[in-house]
Structure 1
């Protein structure tokens, strides 16, 4: 049986960073797998996890629990039966609901395959100060369904967010374990804590996603002369726009960082080719983290998510101008 954990948390809470930390500190003798789902269409988290050494399966473009769970079933079956990992980490989109996923993982068909352990929920306590989060059913239900709450980004905490977390704990923690950390640096031993199967998981609210692919000059695989494409997605009161560029496209380093920092959206994630190699960008609100490496990725991908309106055409136009080499 494969030891399995659900790693949840709303947009920008630090799920992928936490999983990267866990993978970097696991027992090297163990084989781990990650099933990752993103709200957007272009697979940023998959790119971030690509060099982690784990078996990886991506489900882009909405919630893995949608379409009667078929995308999740396919990905889950592939990893379990072909990969036979010692441990499986499942990272749903930050806009996903845990109910259907947990129901599937505890179904009789998976009993011989899955040893379901504690569900962890990453929380940025500052989000408890904003009504757009606290009024969101998925945000609340992710926390309710978790066995362990990880108060992440402790280095960003202030008196207001600390007070908000204290107030939330008094009425919602309900005897569960609460851990504090920064940059997702949690103890891997938490993964082996048991799941509380008696905890009632709220039923998911009805949700839908709309998908649209607009090709600049190409499809996802960008064959032949095609250089880039754009994809749109919307649901849960949010909309996303992502771009993927071919392996020959490089971006001006300073220009693309400023574009990501100033884009009028809630969330920015990307892995981009620059003259120095690659730059990873991760922005939630005003929190902006960048990391550079000398080895370039096979392509460039960037995704924006917002709860408001966005002029994707204007953002695209300014992004395209930052390419150092372009014939389209």
Structure 2
């Protein structure tokens, strides 16, 4: 049987970083797979996880639980049939609701194949100070579905954040395991904790625009001689816009970093080719993290997410001016 863990968490809580940490500690004799979903169609996490040593399947463009779960079922079935992984880690979008995913994973048809273990939910306690996040149904239900709460980004907390976390734990998380960490560095043995949380979750109220066919199981790619493409998405009270550029396009290093740092949006995530090689960009509000890499992806990808419509055309205009080739 394939051991399965759901790794959830709201936007910017550190899910991908945590996945990279867990995959770095994968036993050499085991075959692991990752099923990852993102809000937009660009597929940033696929590029970040591509060299992790695990088999990767992307379901971009919304949430796994939309369209009666068809993309989720297709992706899951393909992984189980083709790869027969020892462990499967599922990362839904930070704007996704966990109920239908858990319902599907516990369905009778999957009982002979899946061993569902503990659900881990990443939490940045600073988000508890944001009414819009705290009152978001997906945020609340992700925490409600968790067996283990991973309070992440401890290096960024202030005294008020710790107090809010303690209050939240007393009110809502008292019966669940809470671990604190930074950079997603958690004990990999947490994955083998049993799934004990059986509480009923409310149905999600989806407000998601679908433009792609529900069977689409790969991120946006370039066709023919196209040098770049753009994709927009909207749902769950958020709007997103992303771009993918071909392998021959490089960007001005200082310019792309300043563009990402100053963009008037809540979330920026990308993997971009620069003169020096490759830079991964991860920004949540004012938190800005960059990392240079040597392994080159087949293209450049970057996505912005905001809690309202942004001027995507103006942002695109300034982004295109940063191309060096």
TM-score range, shorter chain: over 0.9
Alignment of 1:273-312 (within 5 A): 273-312=273-312
CA distance in 1, matches of 2:167, 2:7: 24
Aligned position for 2:42: 42
Q: Secondary structure at the match of 1:61?
A: coil
The ranges of structure 1 where at least 4 consecutive aligned residues each deviate by more than 3 angstroms after the TM superposition are none
Aligned-CA RMSD value: 1.2
CA distance in 2, matches of 1:295, 1:79: 25
Aligned position for 2:175: 175
Native 8 Å contact 1:32 1:87 kept in 2: yes
CA distance in 2, matches of 1:255, 1:208: 33
Give the structure-2-normalised TM-score. Answer: 0.96
Give the CA deviation at 1:210. Answer: 4.2
Superposed CA offset, 1:44-95 (max 9, x none): 0011000101011000000011000000000000111110000000000000
Superposed CA offset, 1:144-195 (max 9, x none): 0100000000001101111111110111113210000000000000000010
CA distance in 2, matches of 1:295, 1:197: 40
Aligned position for 1:13: 13
CA distance in 1, matches of 2:90, 2:195: 15
Alignment of 1:101-116 (within 5 A): 101-116=101-116
Native 8 Å contact 1:38 1:61 kept in 2: yes
Native 8 Å contact 1:208 1:236 kept in 2: yes
Give the CA deviation at 1:113. Answer: 0.7
Aligned position for 2:156: 156
Superposed CA offset, 1:187-224 (max 9, x none): 00000001015322232223323448xxxxxx943233
Give the CA deviation at 1:28. Answer: 1.1
> How many residue pairs align between the two structures?
319
Superposed CA offset, 1:84-140 (max 9, x none): 000000000000000000000000000011000000000000000000101100000
CA distance in 1, matches of 2:211, 2:235: 9
CA distance in 1, matches of 2:220, 2:180: 39
Q: Secondary structure at the match of 2:269?
A: strand
Native 8 Å contact 1:244 1:301 kept in 2: yes
| Higher alpha-carbon deviation: 71-80 or 168-177 | 168-177
Aligned position for 1:136: 136
